[in-house]
Structure 1
Amino acid sequence: MPLALEDRLAVTELVALHGHLVDAGKLDLLDEVFTADVVHDLSDFGRGEVVGLAALTEAALALGAGNPVAHHVTNVVVEEVSEGRVRARSKGLGVMANGSCGSVTYEDTVIRVGTAGWRISHRRVVACRVPLNGLGQGPNAP
């Protein structure tokens, strides 16, 4: 049976909630977005994997002023993998305090957690550094 519309909406809102909580400094509420044992893969930024909510909060606090002041998420695509498990891909924009901006792709594994609902159990953050993922960037590109 295909994923219910209500579940698609819940997962999309879950992905969006992350930015609201982080930008407001409500790191103590990240359990509303992530599982307790979440794996947050920041390898593309040279930070490896951060495992668990406590470590994720610690990493955010350690980064301090290096954190974006605004996290915006868009283009959420939800694909059912199995009963109670979906894959969500989305685009993220991070706005820094100096006004600079960066783009990432979030690759999330989202699971249903009992009565708590949907939670992200694994997030891979991939930096978008070149247009078209490098297509047309060869030696003959304008």
Structure 2
Amino acid sequence: MTADDRFAITELINSHGHLTDCGDFEGLQALFTEDIVYDVSALGGGVLVGPESIREAALSLGDANPVAHHVTNIVFTEAYDGTARTMSKGLGIMADGAVGSATYEDTFERTASGWRLAHRIVRPRRVPLQP
């Protein structure tokens, strides 16, 4: 994996929070594969498949969505067969000021349009010193 690959994937991860916070679902589609699997089961949201299901889930949450998503600590854990895997930390700020922490486990695929997010598992962090 080249430095350019790492930069492109990092930009996708960083762009996700900006686009989500603005409700720019059209822009979000440019980050995902057409069959993205977005697993928010641990948050009670199930497994979402495809950009449209992600959009519908966000719209159904309405004002219960975080007002801000912040991503840090991006680590590349694996790369093979045209895919790349990362782990990162996420902070969600709610309208009432509450803050939540999560770990993102992502798989990216190299497509004709460049790197795209193909699979994400969101794992909330609620207990210290646990995987």
Same fold, TM exceeding 0.5? yes
Q: Give unpaired runs (5+ residues) of structure 1.
A: 135-142
Identity among equivalent positions (%) equals: 52
- Quote the residue 2:117 is aligned against: 120
Q: Which of residues 55, 60, 70 is equivalent to 1:57?
A: 55
Looking at structure 1, the residues matched to 12 and 127 of structure 2 have their Cα atoms a distance apart, in angstroms, of 28
Q: Structure 1-normalised TM-score?
A: 0.88
Corresponding residue of 2:10: 12
TM-score (norm 2): 0.95
Amino acid at match of 1:28: E
Amino acid across the alignment from 1:69? V
Aligned-residue offset at 1:48? 1.5
Give the counterpart letter for 1:20 in structure 2: H
Question: Whole-Å Cα distance in 1 between the matches of residues 93 and 79 of structure 2?
Answer: 32
Structure 2 counterpart of 1:93, one-letter code? L
CA contact (8 A) 1:86 1:109 kept: yes
The aligned residue for residue 139 of structure 1 is: none
Q: Which sections of structure 2, spanning at least 5 residues, go unmatched?
A: none
Q: Which residue of 1 aligns with 2:128?
A: 131
Number of corresponding residues: 131
Q: Distance in 1 between matches of 2:2 and 2:120?
A: 22
User: What displacement does 1:131 show?
Assistant: 1.1
Q: Counterpart of 1:22 in 2: which secondary structure?
A: helix
RMSD: 1.2
Over 2 Å off, 4+ runs? none
Larger Rg: 1
